[in-house]
Amino acid sequence: MARLLPVKYILRQPCYIYIFLTTSSVLFVMHLKYQQISKEMPRKLGVSYASFQLDLGTGQSIANYFERKSQLMKRSPFKTVLPREFQRASNKTLFLIYAYTKHRQFCRKYNSESFCLSTCPFRNCQFTCDTSLIRRADAIIMFYSHLNYGKLFDLAVYRNPNQLWLLWHDEPYATAPVYNKFLFNWTMSYRLDSEVSVATYGVTHVRNESINQIVFAKWIDENYKNRHNEAVWFVSNCNSQKRLHFYGQLKQHFPISAFGKCINNQTNDSHKCVRGSQCELEKLSTSKFYLAFESTTLRRDYITEKFWRSLSLGAIPIVLGPKRQSYERIAPPNSFIYAQDYSDFITLAKHLNDVATNRQKYEKYHAWKINYETRYLSRDVEPIRFCELCYRLNKNKDRIWYSNVNKYFLEID
């Protein structure tokens, strides 16, 4: 029987310059030639805000999920998609991915742990950090924080036109115009329209077996009775004044226990109650609500682990972040409270109090647990992310490049 979790990153030779400029010129001409064609291609708009809950049960169900998401990927004005006659070859039986990283532990980890999802439709992908294989690799995945631009320019001189360059970018602020010089083909990020985006910080998936109604009712009774009628918040980034202001106003009307260096908190455990601590786990497991406030509310689809951790530990997330639709596409149904739905802090506080003191209303925010569960730990989400990467390498034949990947990540939702 299925069970609920318990409460708890110069050019040197003239010939190099010539080769590099020639390659760049060809790519640029192709870009101009086909940009208009790309704009005129029919677009499927209907799935823009479809709901995406993953079924990990079979390879076919995962493939269906990835294909639904594929309809979003060509929509960005910052991407150029070439016509069919320029499609990639499809006769590969093994895909080699070079991990461009300065952290060697990634190299030891990837082959043993990354492509391990048993139900993944494709498992014919392999990571390497062996520099002797870099030009043979089908794809190079580059961590935005590890980029060495001098070495990248050297690498671009000999760039194989059949090799895909992926920019792995999970933070919305860490971007630079120099990224555009490398004409990245794909991105791996938090944006749902990235080529690889599923389970960036967390994922909703369908349970193999629904929760028994009696078991669910008992869980509701227990949590409704034992959890405190309050919200809890852990904050370490003090740069986002919007969320600090929101917290300051809301706490005047509803009880909030807040912890972190941004908070003037004089309680005895304030210095110990930090993100990832046992104290945080206990607070999340004994409070009815959590302030899942993102550091920015302007970046599309930027929903981090704080949201997913709250769901997994049974606290209803009060969210302040991107548009409501970004949450609705990936979150369990009726699982969060969107703060900007409310006209003022008093109205929001009244709703929180109603939910906290009315069992039926409280249950409605947890009913999703019967058929869905969430994951956010690295060991759970990374195999899903790399499954999508392997799937895209096998299935995505379109030749794509980002004309302005910097603006792509700075786009305001």
**Do 69 and 154 fall into the same domain?**
yes
Q: 318 and 225, same structural domain?
A: yes
What total of structural domains would you count in the chain?
A: 2
Among 40, 168, 192, residue whose Cα is nearest residue 114:
168
| CA separation for the pair 263, 293 (Å, rounded) | 14
Domain shared by 43 and 155, yes or no: yes
Q: Looking at residue 298, which CATH number applies to its domain?
A: 3.40.50.11660
Residue 14 has pLDDT above 60, yes or no: no
CB atoms within 10 A of CB 49: 15
* DSSP annotation string for 326-339: HHHHHSPTT--EEG
Mean pLDDT of the 336-359 span:
98
Residues 75 and 93 in one domain: yes
Q: What contacts 91, CB < 8 A, 6 or more positions away?
A: none
**Other C-beta atoms within 10 Å of 331: how many?**
24
Residue holding tokens 């043993």?
112
Count each helix (H run) and each strand (E run) in the chain, helices first. 13, 14
Residues 342, 311 share a domain: yes
Domain-located, residue 251: yes
| Domain encompassing residue 243 | 211-370
* Long-range CB contacts for residues 238-245, cutoff 8 Å, separation at least 24: 238/262, 239/295, 240/293, 240/294, 240/295, 240/296, 242/297, 242/320, 243/291, 243/293, 243/294, 243/295, 243/320
Determine what percent of the chain is predicted with pLDDT higher than 70.
Answer: 81
Q: Poorest-confidence range of 11-15, 134-138, 167-171, 215-219? A: 11-15
Instruction: Assess whether pLDDT exceeds 70 at residue 351.
Output: yes
Residue 51 included in any domain: yes
Same domain? For 398 and 334 the reply is: no
Tell me, yes or no, whether 216 and 156 share the same domain: no
Give tens-digit pLDDT for 190-244: 999 999 999 999 999 999 999 999 999 999 999 999 999 999 999 887 777 889 9
pLDDT digits (tens, 9 = 90+) for 45-73: 233 345 667 888 788 889 999 998 888 87
Do residues 338 and 391 both lie within one domain?
no
